[in-house]
Each structure stands twice: as C-alpha cells, then as structure tokens.
Amino acid sequence: MSHTARSLSLHASTVEPCPPCRIVGKLTSALSAFLPLGSGTLGPLEGNLMTVAADTGPAIVQTIVAESFQEWSRAISASFVPLLAQGPRNSTFHGTMRARVLGQISVVEITAGPHTVLRTPELIAKSTGRFFKLSIQLTGSGRLIQDEREAVLRPGDLSIYDTSRPYQLTFDDDFRTLVLMFPHVLLDLPAEAMGHVTALRIPGDEGLGELISPFLVKLADNLDALSGTNGLRLVHNALDLVTTLFNGELDQLIETGRDPHLLLLGRIHDYIEANLGDPELSPGTIAAAHYISTRHLHDLFQEIGTTVAASIRQRRLERCRRDLRDPVLAERPVTAIAARWGFTDAAHFSRIFRAAFGNSPTGYRNSH
C-alpha cells in the first residue's frame, strides 16, 4: 500500500466509548497495521473515512469507518485482498471494520449495509499469498458462493472460503459478521481437502457448530481483550477448533464415499500430525503405514503443490514458532522445543527457522 491517503477528519458523533483512543491521520498507515496479511493496494481517499486505534496493550484494535460506498470499496480491498465491490454508489452507505492482528491471524468485525464483493480471477492473478477466510454471521444474513457451492448464512452460522479461488459474498440487508483471515499453513488440514468444504454452511445450532460458534462469536464481542501472547493463544485455540470442525466435515464426506482419493490424503495427514515429534518420520515410514509405494506418496503430494519433506518441515516449524511465542513455555530451552517437534540437530533447526521466519529461534522468542 504505497499510495498515501489524505489526512482524515473525525466527527465526534461517530466515536463510540472506548479505551483511550488516538486518531490515525493517514489511512495508509492505519491499514498497514490493520491487516498486513492482505495484498490489496490503496489509492488516495477523500471524504469522511476515519481510522481509530484503541490502545489496549501490545496490539491495538483498529477501527475504520466509511461514510460512502466508494470509501468502503477501497478500504475492504486494501484491508484483505483485492476485491471488486458492488453496491449503492448513489445512496447513503455506512460501514465499519474493527480488527486486531495477532501474529499471522487477522480478526475483523464488519458492520455494514447491503452490498456484494467478488474475488475475480483477474484480481487473484495480481495477488500473492494464499489465505483462508472464515466468516461467522453475527446479525443479518449473507450468501457465499465458491467452488460451485452456495451457503446462506444466518446468525451463528459459519463458512470458510479460499482467497486463491474466485468467490462472491452478497449481503441483501444491514449485517454484522466476524472474519478470521489466516495463511493456508496455519490450518492443520490439506488445502486440497479444504476445497471440498468451502462455501458449506456450518449451522451454529447443531453438531460441532453448536459448540464452536459461541466461542468465535465471543471473539467479536471481546476484540479489546485480545492482546499480547494471551490473545495470540486464544486465536490459535480458535483455529484449532476450526480445524476440528472442518476435519469433522471432511470425515462426513469420506464416510459417504464421495472421494476415495480424499480419504487417503486425510489418513496420511492425520498420520503425519500424530507423528510430527518422531525424528524418524519420513516418506518411507508414511508410505509403509498406508501400504502404498513412496512413489505414489510423492505423486499425491505433487498433486497438491508440495513435497512430503516440505510439508513435514513446514508443519514442524509452525509448531515450534507457536511454542516459542507461548508464555507458558518461556522457560523451556529452544533445543527442547525443537526436539519436541522432531528437530534433533540444533544447528540445522536454527538455520531452517531463520530461513523460514527471518530470525533465529532465540531472536524470534525475544521479539515476541
């Protein structure tokens, strides 16, 4: 977001009671802190769009208020990924986004009037990064379309979609929703498998949804409390719950016999997850456990755009990074954390951790 926005005015009537606030005079700087995951670009804005940051600890809640649809269109595209917005350009429009960024996870509460957003192939081609977005409908209703499926969401319902493929979101009336946006790697399920459950309505009043939806709704109601390492633990706990939820949905698909290929990938994924801490985990042991050849195993992973070794390494590194940020494990030696996840060579672990995250394990821990 290299374009600089004009200074923005703040109208006292629009400020809600909050902890001590400070006005962010530049929309660009606010959005760069607001949702760094997105790859949208922001042009100069005019009008009454406002940004407010509530100081509540190491992280801050960023609030963006748009008083016209043009402002809203630019703001959502800059905040998430590039989007095409369609709505009432010639009538009154009001939209608000409140967000907190914790690590690689953005938690965003959206309140707005009727409109539609589209993620088109052309916009996808201009983007970098692969993200999932999880939507929990809080009030009103929304319609999500992706992968030839359509989900109509009522309050409490949730659904997931992938920013690397086209989608459409339509809201016919005023609404409020919570969006969690995070890289593919943070969800402990294969991205290819997730393509089978995008744009599925997960009801919030039955099954696993009845257990998990209330927790996610509470995140929206308590954004101000999500700060520091404890806030990070909470949102990672939320992702663990989401993983459980969609793993259950995938299990149902498997039980119906819809996709034997997906069944095998699911079993392999579960095996890798259960054995990440085993230093002997390898393509050979994985293939043997599933009675397939190593060549077949490699072909399966090639189909989803990765390798067996890279997948294991990435998952292990993500677990190590999470542990290094965990205040409960602050006294545990880095070598012990590495060994917990299958890294027995400390020097090798330090090299690949730095290559992946731009800092040594100790330096990363100290900076968080």
Q: What is the pLDDT along the chain (368 residues), one digit of tens a residue?
A: 333 232 222 222 222 333 322 223 233 333 333 344 444 433 333 344 444 434 333 458 889 999 889 899 988 888 889 999 998 766 789 999 998 888 888 899 999 999 999 999 999 998 888 899 999 999 999 999 999 999 999 999 999 999 999 999 999 999 999 999 999 888 877 777 788 889 999 999 998 899 999 998 888 888 888 877 778 888 888 888 888 888 888 777 766 655 677 778 878 988 998 999 999 999 999 999 999 999 999 988 887 778 999 989 989 998 999 899 888 898 999 999 999 999 999 999 999 999 988 999 999 998 87
d(CA 280, CA 278): 5
Q: Which residues contact 317 (CB under 8 A, 6 or more apart)?
A: 352, 353, 356, 357
CATH class of the 12-223 domain in this structure: mainly beta
- Sort 67 into a burial class: Cβ within 10 Å, 0-12 / 13-18 / 19+: middle
Q: At 296, which helix (H) or strand (E)?
A: helix 294-303
CATH of 259-367, one of 1.10.10.60, 3.30.450.20, 1.20.120.140, 3.30.70.20: 1.10.10.60
**For residue 254, what pLDDT is reported?**
66
**For residue 189, what pLDDT is reported?**
79
d(CA 292, CA 288): 6
Could you write out the DSSP letters of every residue in 184-249? GGGSSS-HHHHTTTTT--B-TTSHHHHHHHHHHHHHHHTGGG--HHHHHHHHHHHHHHHHHHHHHH
Task: State phi, psi for 100 to the nearest 5 degrees.
Answer: -130, 135
In the chain, what are the domain boundaries?
12-223, 259-367
**For residue 256, what pLDDT is reported?**
67
**65, 14 in Cβ contact below 8 A?**
yes
**For residue 170, what pLDDT is reported?**
96
Task: State phi, psi for 118 to the nearest 5 degrees.
Answer: -130, 140
d(CA 225, CA 283): 43
Question: CA 73 from chain center: how many Å?
Answer: 21
Query: How much is the CA Rg of the chain, to the nearest whole Å?
Result: 21
